[in-house]
């Protein structure tokens, strides 16, 4: 997924009512769970397309600074549980 597509999907998932957790999956097989909307922070940008590709995750034992370019897919928390 391209960075803009990943950011857009994350924004959509964060606006769900009720919120359902999701996982950011990376090329190396790692997955970072987002179990609360407050666990991830990023500049959503504006209509001019000036959004940053950087994001930050603080959740339980996870502390991560990465980019949406490094995310290969966005999945459900059920997919994370299946990975083990």
Whole-number mean pLDDT of the chain? 86
Asked whether residue 30 carries a pLDDT value surpassing 50, the answer given is: yes
Q: Which residue has the higher pLDDT, 33 or 1?
A: 33
Task: Write the CA distances from 42 to 38, 55, 56, 67, integer angstroms.
Answer: 11, 5, 7, 10
**CATH code where residue 39 lies:** 2.30.30
Range of the domain at 59: 3-83
Q: Which residue has the higher pLDDT, 47 or 43?
A: 43
> For the chain, how many structural domains are there in total?
1
pTM of the model: 0.82
Give percent of the chain with pLDDT exceeding 70: 85
Asked whether residue 44 carries a pLDDT value surpassing 80, the answer given is: no
CA distance 68 to 5: 9
């Amino acid at each position: 997924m391209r960075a803009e597509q990943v950011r857009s999907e994350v924004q959509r998932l964060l606006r769900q009512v009720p919120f359902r957790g999701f996982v950011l999956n990376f090329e190396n097989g790692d997955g970072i769970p987002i179990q609360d909307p407050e666990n991830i922070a990023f500049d959503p940008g504006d209509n001019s397309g000036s959004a940053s590709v950087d994001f930050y995750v603080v959740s339980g034992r996870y502390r991560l600074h990465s980019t949406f370019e490094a995310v290969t897919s966005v999945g459900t928390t059920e997919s994370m549980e299946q990975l083990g």
